[in-house]
Amino acid sequence: MKLIQLEMKKIALTPYLLASVLIPLVTLAMINLLAYAPQIDPSILVTDPEMGTYKFLYILSFIINVAGFSCLGTAMLGKVVMESYNDNYLYLTLSYPVARKKILRAKIIFCELFCGIGVFIGILLTNSLFFVSESVFSVVNDSLSFATIMGQLPLMIVAVILVTSISLISLAIGWWRNSLALAIVSAVVFCSIPSNLVTVGGVQVVLAITVILLVASMLVVLLITKKVSRLEA
């Protein structure tokens, strides 16, 4: 815990906090825009009737928040982990009188807790504000209830696992080529997989993809730990 607190003091959190607030707000703006689109052009519902349902809009909230926080988590891991082990900071990092694995673990846990909690709160904030706006002025021709929001709780937990898994896998790819840009691009690509499948195969397919990515992220942590162990040799 002390190492995690130390990491919190070492990094400027303001940009990440700002981004974690902007992501759900941008998501809210987008789902409100899509919710109002059928009012402008009713023919949209003829070609794609799902756009006029709360289920579609809440899944969209899930997709955008996951993509946003995955990219944020990857950027944060790149700053906290990759930068600490580059040529400029490697000697300083390895000179700490603490086990190297514990330092790496603290960095990863700190970043993943930040983004995992962030995406959970982000989806909850987006959906709650949309629920309030629809309660006051409804633009969607669908039945809305508090149970509709509570039904999104499993997806919110899945979102936490997806964000942490995708950001770790993307970190490994970016670190392999020593490129933060490649890591973020990888995060976008990985986010597109569950995003496309959730609209085609439903939540069950997303759950399967989530399990695969979770296992892959665990293997990534082992590989990164071995990489750091070799650096101090």
Q: Which of the residue ranges 33-37, 61-65, 151-155 has the most confident prediction, judged by mean pLDDT?
A: 61-65
Stretch 165-185: mean pLDDT:
91
Question: By C-alpha distance, which of 76, 65, 80 is closest to 21?
Answer: 65
Q: Which pLDDT score is estimated for 181? A: 92
- To 10 degrees, the CA torsion angle through 152, 156, 161, 162? 80
pLDDT at 9 (0 to 100): 64
Mean per-residue pLDDT, 206-226? 90
Separation in Å, CA 106 to CA 90, 152, 166: 16, 31, 18
Give per-residue pLDDT as tens, 143-154: 776 677 677 888
**What percentage of the chain reaches a pLDDT higher than 70?**
79
Of 138 and 78, the structure prediction assigns the larger pLDDT to: 78
DSSP letter, residue 144: -
Is residue 41 scored above 60 in pLDDT? yes
pLDDT tens figures, 118-136: 999 999 999 889 888 887 8
